[in-house]
Structure 1
């Protein structure tokens, strides 16, 4: 009996003794022969790594899709670019020096035995070196690659994450703007509304002498370069001429943009809400009229349901101001709203000395053309509210705004129909009338990719006096936002001054050395 008990203890202990003999990160089950590039890249800690089943957690290979195409002669010769999403759906890519790299094209699915290969950083890029052609097995062709839109600011902030991956720079324009005869060859600063990234085109590329569009999508691979200061500089490299999708050959500049507003001042909202705009050019409203429409989608707003007449719905859903008198100069802020012209409702600082183009008591007066008198132009309920600016004073269900912003997403805002109904948007830093990736029509807020919005102020208590400052940089030369607007909500007091909503406020701090600037022109 003692022997039986002893054998049982020994048998029970074997798995624990065995597992204690060898360190492993593998959680159990059958080990995949393929290691994800996310994990493989993490093996590199600053010095060369010879790959083995030990440091690859039992794996021997990678399974990835080819993203390079050397037919355009714009990628580094003899380099195969592959990527995968095998780990946590995190996209990662890597370079493989290979004399036969040009034999593979985008969409080829490959299995590559990397056991014994060396992981090293070359010219700022992580590579798997010492891989022979015989170690690569092509298993499929024409594999669909999911479009990957990445803002340039994210690439510049983390080039290691995006290097050797295929991605789109969307709504790209050049900064500074190119001359009509300029071609792609060389290094160009490509701006997508978030930052500038270098678009590099070899002089020997088949499309080097192509004249690029005013605005376009640029599909390409991120290839790092080590700068003179030793820092890594990401470059965006097209593969062929077809990697450019033309969006526009015309620069459209709105006469003014929405730069801030107060929707819930400290005290009564009636006759005290206002919207701030920034002029991008000199405007004489008597000669060139415009209009501003607000939409309040609180639960009690009528008519209920999706807005079949869009911004022209009227009643207490939408309210219109016609801008038909007065002038503003390029770079000047101006205001539309209640007649009190106070910075934060009753008893607060007067801002009547600033430029007001249209103001009246909207709590006792109907809107210009549509909109019933109301105590709230903009919702406080948590449902969405919006502001739109229009060229001219005629606004109907089909009129497209020159600028538009929304706060929140609740309420009845859009129906796909048919027919589709909702609030129309324009081409702005936040919205696109045509999906820039799929090129599908999406003219309404909440349709397609038009789902971005600014958040309500963080304090749900009403009547606090939060001002929404929409800091951004609009380039009049390029006809686009070179820094997309972001909303900073800060509390106004009864003694707040005009410079708080027109200047840098809150002031710079150690944590935020730039402070919070207003929307600016460039």
Structure 2
């Protein structure tokens, strides 16, 4: 009969086999740590003695804790990771290697500078099952990483629309700790001097991928999130500095009517709302925490709805980013980014129409090279009433609208 464990324990039962599995999930290893070192045994692992996962660290490019690799797996609906300390043998395992650690008995689960490590594993017990396995990053905000650092520890994450503060000079490099913000919070971008890209020029803004790793100088300190990029390919959508005051988070006033007032004074300037309000409904409006509201466009219109800057940014644009999603359980909709270089007299579409809004908010980034003064707007097309076949025209949320200076 299948046993039932409390929430602080775990179920190591392999249903298909009808017996306890020899493989323990990474999250179950992590649950064993209660503030003191733990020696792993079959007893405390419910007869398990192996662990498996994919290497997400890139030892060859050097931005790692010396002698370690980071192993990540997806099991029981959760993505979790852990650091393995292997000494010199860590160099034998590459990014994308799928590993089976055949014996973790007597390994020690400990915490080093705020992050869990497994130490004392015999490298000879590790079997390389496959190579070049792809791993998809978890999309997160700096706020989530900073407020819940242990939830994302040792996993591959992506922070969209990141900006380095203060703005780096042309001589600044990746080496050391750099303040990385996405408008929701600020975390540290961590690059070791040993990294192959340590002396590369630091971009003012980019979408940053890396391994989330908490840091605490002592056990008494609260862990703070750090993002460890693995190589230069982890920085994409490189652009100029974010304009002062951006991203526009739409957190200032309230607006409960789709029609009035037509314009609002927000922290970045004046914005025009046409058939749009500021939605504060948690679980329905797709605002980015710690924010409490997002722009919400009306549904089923036969004419366009707009969110429009009524001011120019003056140093051109290298990039625009924002988050979007469908309100509550609404159908998707069709919208596009538009820009004007003549003070809003005429508008041009930038990029294709977007049609994939759903209940999970996502971030989109447009790279561009527009000189001089420019302003932007979102145009939600007036397609008529949703029929869930040829027409989808549900309510749409927009949040965290950011504009970046021309490079």
Q: TM-score, normalised by structure 1?
A: 0.53
- Corresponding residue for residue 33 of structure 1: 22
- Secondary structure of the residue aligned to 1:92 is strand
**Structure 2: tracts of 5 or more residues without a match:** 3-8, 278-296, 313-318, 337-350, 368-377, 382-394
User: What is the CA deviation profile of residues 325-372 of structure 1, one whole-angstrom value per residue up to 9, with x for unaligned ones?
Assistant: xxxxxxxxxxxxxxxxxxxxxxxxxxxxxxxxxxxxxxxxxxxxxxxx
What is the alpha-carbon distance in structure 2 between the residues aligned to residue 221 and residue 279 of structure 1? 33
The answer as to 2:56 corresponding to 1:67 is yes
Partner of 2:221: 230
Residue by residue, what CA displacement relative to the aligned partner does 1:301-332 show, whole Å, maximum 9, x if unpaired? xxxxxxxxxxxxxxxxxxxxxxxxxxxxxxxx
Deviation at 1:381, TM superposition (A): 9.4
After TM superposition, list the pairs within 5 Å mapping 1:52-451 onto structure 2.
Answer: 52-86=41-75, 88-98=76-86, 99-112=88-101, 113-227=103-217, 230-249=221-240, 251=242, 259-260=252-253, 262-264=255-257, 273-278=261-266, 280=268, 292=272, 294-295=274-275, 379=298, 387-390=306-309, 408=327, 410=330, 413-414=333-334, 432-434=364-366
The question of 1:43 aligning with 2:32 is answered yes
Instruction: Say if 1:384 and 1:407, in contact at 8 Å, map to a contact too.
Output: no
The number of equivalent residue pairs is 326
Q: How many Å separate the matches in 1 of 2:266 and 2:364?
A: 21
Shift of 1:161: 1.7
Give me the whole-angstrom Cα distance separating, in 2, the residues matched to 1:186 and 1:68. Answer: 18
In the alignment, structure 1 segments of 5+ residues that lack a partner are 1-14, 17-22, 282-289, 298-377, 394-399, 436-442, 455-469, 480-522
Structure with larger RCO (C-alpha < 8 A, sep 6+):
2
Q: Are the structure 2 counterparts of residues 152 and 294 from structure 1 closer, same or farther at C-alpha, using a change threshold of 3 Å?
A: same
Counterpart mapping for 1:477-496 below 5 A:
none
Alpha-carbon displacement from aligned partner over 1:235-292 (angstroms, at most 9, x marks no partner): 211222222113323646799966545344xxxx98x6444123647xxxxxxxx994
Preserved contact between residue 335 and residue 379 of structure 2 (Cα < 8 Å): no
Q: Map Cα deviations across residues 99-131 of structure 1 (whole Å, 9 max, x no partner).
A: 211111111000002122121112221111110
Cα distance in 1, alignment partners of residues 172 and 232 from structure 2: 16
Any conservation in 1 of the 2:215–2:224 contact (CA below 8 Å)? yes
Question: Is the 8 Å Cα contact of residues 386 and 407 (structure 1) preserved in structure 2?
Answer: no
Tell whether the 8 Å contact from 2:321 to 2:365 is kept in structure 1 after alignment: no
Between stretches 272-281 and 123-132, larger displacement belongs to 272-281
Q: 1:230 to 1:421 in 2, by over 3 A?
A: closer
Cα contact 2:204–2:241 (8 A) shared by 1: yes
CA shift, 1:193, in A, is 2.0
CA 1:179–1:94 in 2, change beyond 3 Å: closer, same or farther?
Answer: same
Listed as ranges, the matches of 1:445-460 within 5 Å are 453=397
> What SS does the corresponding residue of 2:140 show, helix, strand or coil?
coil
* CA distance, structure 2, for counterparts of residue 239 and residue 230 of structure 1: 26
TM-score, normalization by structure 2: 0.66
| Contact 1:150–1:168 (8 Å) recurs in 2 | yes
Structure richer in strand, relative to its length: 2
Whether contact under 8 Å (1:165, 1:221) holds in the other structure is: yes
Between 1:43-52 and 1:105-114, the stretch displaced more is: 43-52
- Give the structure 2 partner of residue 502 of structure 1: none
- 1:71/1:415 CA distance change after superposition, 3 Å: same
Alpha-carbon distance between aligned partners in 2 of 1:388 and 1:105, rounded to the nearest angstrom = 46
Larger radius of gyration between Structure 1 and Structure 2: 1
Superposed CA RMSD in Å reads: 4.6
